[in-house]
Structure 1
Amino acid sequence: MDPSIGSVLLEEVLPRVATIAVAIAGGVAVANALVAFGAIRYIAALSKPLTRPANLPDEVGGAILTTAASTTAGYGMLAEYRDSGLLDDRATLVAVTINTFFGFVQHIFTFYAPVLIPILGLRVGLLYVGTRAGVSLAITITGVVAGAFLLSARNVNPDAMREVDPEARTDGGDDRTSREKLLDAGRGGLEKTWEILPRLAVVYTLVVLGTTYYDLEALTGGAADPLAALTGLPSAAVPVIVVYALDTTSGALTLVPFIEDGTFTARTAVATMLIGGIVSFTVSTFKRSIPFQYGIWGAEFGTKVVIVNTVLKVAWISVALVVLLAI
């Protein structure tokens, strides 16, 4: 029996929207505080090897590194920079692409190390996490290269943050007290959250209700069979891909017995999970990426971010898959 709409809203939509709202408010507040106190100079210095070759301003470095702690907070900071005029759309897409590896880093500590590696075992787990890390790093490097060739001074406005708040200078040398700076930073975070939250809540609610009352398993399962046949993986890969595409942890648990009885080697096991990751984009893009990106950026620019993220992920996972199967 399907859950009631009320229970879906209370148990799934409300906690998720609230979590995102808190992360956005915190991320934007941190960005404002870093600028106000001049700390952005020190944080950005750590990311100059990425931002400088990509022709991005130093402020973007803070958002990139923040993504390692919270993807939502990092995106919130970039949204603030785009709205202020510091970055145009092209520069923002490059910054979002460079963010990819740092977004992956946080999942190592929150999911891969404590959950997935113990399930899969050390050998398979480390090979899978290492492969996904390589994919994320390749996407980040793609962003740096794209910035080097596609961005110039026309795509950024270094004075934009000062124009938004004339009293705030990157050296922290304004006349406000520390308390005033913190209050202004927090106020900016709340204002940005209030701007984004209604749109985010509406889109996410529609998506969750749609996926709750409509079965997507048949669509995902249909895509798994030809993919497995094309790669020459064992027939047992098909159910693993289907389950993995719907839930990563359950997919890993489904795969373990086949690893233990020798049906899959470490290499073919990881290849199967990578295919499951590609197939899962049909679900995760609709269920998570679109609501999140539309909530952050709006429908028009959010669509561009979703397309760029999806194309790069599928492309580089496909490269990793070819390499694994060719070894």
Structure 2
Amino acid sequence: MVVALQSQPSALLPVVAEVLPRVARIALFIAFGVFLANLAVGFGLVERVAGLSRFLTGPANLPDEVGTAILTTAASTTAGYGMLAEFRESGTLDDKATLVAVTINTFFGFVQHIFTFYLPVLLPILGLRVGLLYVGSRALVALCITFTGVFAGALLLSPANVDQSTTTAADGGAQERGSDTPREVVHNAWDRTLPKLRRIVPRLAVVYTLVVVLTRTTDLTALTEVADPLATIVGLPGAAIPVIAVFALDTTAGAATIAPLVGVDFTARQAVATMLIGGIVSFAVSTFKRSIPFQYGIWGPRFGSKVVAVNTALKIVWIGAAVATLLWIPSPL
């Protein structure tokens, strides 16, 4: 019994060491996003940036405030989500409008990865032709998801789904802009940010801890067994199966695995289709390890489940469309 009790703290240390930095980093970006949302409204910045994103928010029947979240997402996905969470909490957006806004955010969340991962990491590994075809395919998928959100907003949203009178005031009342000094605006914005952090951070810590414990005790690699029937159905060569399995678990390793096989076992289009299917297979793993903890931490289990379901469904549909286009529609590429 003494040995068991002594071993428990040491067994928890790796879990704590993995969870704490992740929660701290996400909490920092959420705090930045919520604080920025409050500042944007307090200083009247919404009107100044609205024109840059109104071509999306206007047709989708979303308020200008959502435009600030969209632009912020291009720099930080977490901060952009934090701003949307603030708009939902304040009553500016109802659940349906928030789901539309999250969907529209997709392409802008992808943009930052182009410069931080796809171009500097994957392009040198895959080569110019395959690399650009893959990055372009992923960008087109993200853009199609964003326009799906715009179309959904135009079709499903009305003024009943948006309450612009609330802005981001914590008490739900209308906020009179210009009546406070800059120092008061900053102070009020921070006061409205703290309650969100007190609610979100503990939830993040609990969910991430559960996920880390489960991933350390469960073999998630079995999920990649679906690669075999997927590759067979779409008509990829047999060499695609191990590549998909590797790509599903690690994007960089998968790219390094398939790169020397292009021109031997794969055409450029088959190689990109293989990597895209690897991305579909990896959703099961990445959703469990990253998406669910992140979304549950921000939105809570009920609405977070809706966000995860919508994101996953749209990604699978549009990546599936991209794979079909690459493999079955003639093209000189």
Per the normalisation by structure 2, the TM-score is: 0.93
Aligned pair in 2 of structure 1 residues 123, 181: CA closer, same or farther (>3 Å)? same
CA distance in 1, matches of 2:201, 2:138: 31
SS at the partner of 2:164?
coil
> Could you tell me whether the CA contact under 8 Å between 2:223 and 2:285 is conserved in 1?
no
Question: What residue is the counterpart of 1:75 in the other structure?
Answer: 81
Distance 2:182 2:137 in 1: 45
For 2:168 and 2:222, locate their aligned partners in 1 and report how far apart those are by CA, in whole Å: 52
Tell me by how many angstroms 1:209 deviates.
1.4
1 CA distance for matches of 2:72 and 2:82?
A: 10
1:262 to 264, 279, 283: 264
- In the alignment, which of 130, 144, 148 is matched to residue 142 of structure 1? 148
Residue 234 (structure 2) pairs with residue 231 (structure 1): yes
* Residue deviations 1:178-200 (CA, integer Å, cap 9, x gap): 12211222232232112101011
Shift of 1:215: 1.2
Distance (whole Å) between structure 2 residues aligned to residue 26 and residue 152 of structure 1: 30
- Taking the TM superposition and a 5 Å limit, the aligned residue runs for 1:97-116 are 97-116=103-122
Corresponding residue to 2:178 among 173, 184, 196: 173
Residue type of the alignment partner of 1:253: A
Q: Residue 159 of structure 1 aligns to a residue in which SS?
A: helix
Measured against aligned partners, the alpha-carbon deviations of 1:3-57 in whole angstroms (never above 9, x if no partner) come to 94312321x2111111100000000000111111111111122100000100001
Paired residues of 2:49 and 2:68 also in contact (CA < 8 A): yes
Query: Are 2:27 and 1:21 equivalent residues in the alignment?
Result: yes
- Report the identity percentage: 66
Deviation at residue 168 of structure 1 after TM alignment: 3.7
What amino acid maps onto 1:173 in structure 2? G
- The residue that corresponds to 1:286 in the other structure is 288
> Over the residues paired in the alignment, what is the CA RMSD in angstroms?
1.4
Query: Residues of 2 paired with 1:256 and 1:286: CA distance?
Result: 28
Quote how far apart the aligned CAs of 1:282 are: 1.0
Match of 2:206 in 1: 202
Q: Which string of whole-angstrom CA distances, capped at 9 and with x for unpartnered residues, describes residues 248-298 of structure 1? A: 111111111212x52112101100000000111110111111101100100
Q: Does the CA contact (< 8 Å) of 1:271 and 1:321 recur in 2? A: yes
Q: What's the CA shift string for 1:292-316, capped at 9, x where partnerless?
A: 1100100000011011000000000
Kindly indicate whether residue 13 of structure 2 is the aligned counterpart of residue 6 of structure 1.
yes
SS of residue matched to 2:75: coil
Counterpart selection for 1:314 from 313, 316, 319: 316
The reply on whether 1:219 has 2:226 as its aligned counterpart is: no
* Structure 1 match to 2:6: none
Residues 29 and 187 of structure 1 are in contact (CA less than 8 Å); yes or no, is this contact kept in structure 2? no
Give the unaligned 5+ runs of structure 1.
none
Q: Deviations over 1:112-160 (max 9, x none)?
A: 1111111111111110000000000000000000000100010000101
Question: In the TM superposition, what is the alpha-carbon distance from 1:167 to its structure 2 partner?
Answer: 7.7
Q: Distance in 2 between matches of 1:141 and 1:49?
A: 11
Structure 1: distance between partners of 2:42 and 2:101: 22
> Does the Cα contact within 8 Å between 1:104 and 1:136 map onto a contact in 2?
yes
2:133 to 117, 127, 131: 127
Cα contact 1:28–1:76 (8 A) shared by 2: yes
Separation in 2, partners of 1:107, 1:186: 29
Structure 1 partner of 2:303? 301
Q: Contact between 1:24 and 1:189, CA under 8 Å: does it hold in 2?
A: no
1:93 aligns with 2:93: no
Q: 1:148 to 1:167 in 2, by over 3 A?
A: closer
2:256 equivalent to 1:253:
yes
* Equivalent residue number for residue 244 of structure 1: 247
Return the TM-score normalized by structure 1: 0.94
- Which residue does the alignment assign to 2:5? none
Give distance in 2, aligned partners of 1:86 and 1:21. Answer: 22
Q: Structure 2: any 5+ residue segments left out of the alignment?
A: 1-9
Q: Distance in 2 between matches of 1:157 and 1:34?
A: 17
Determine if contact 1:27/1:73 at 8 Å carries over to the other structure. yes
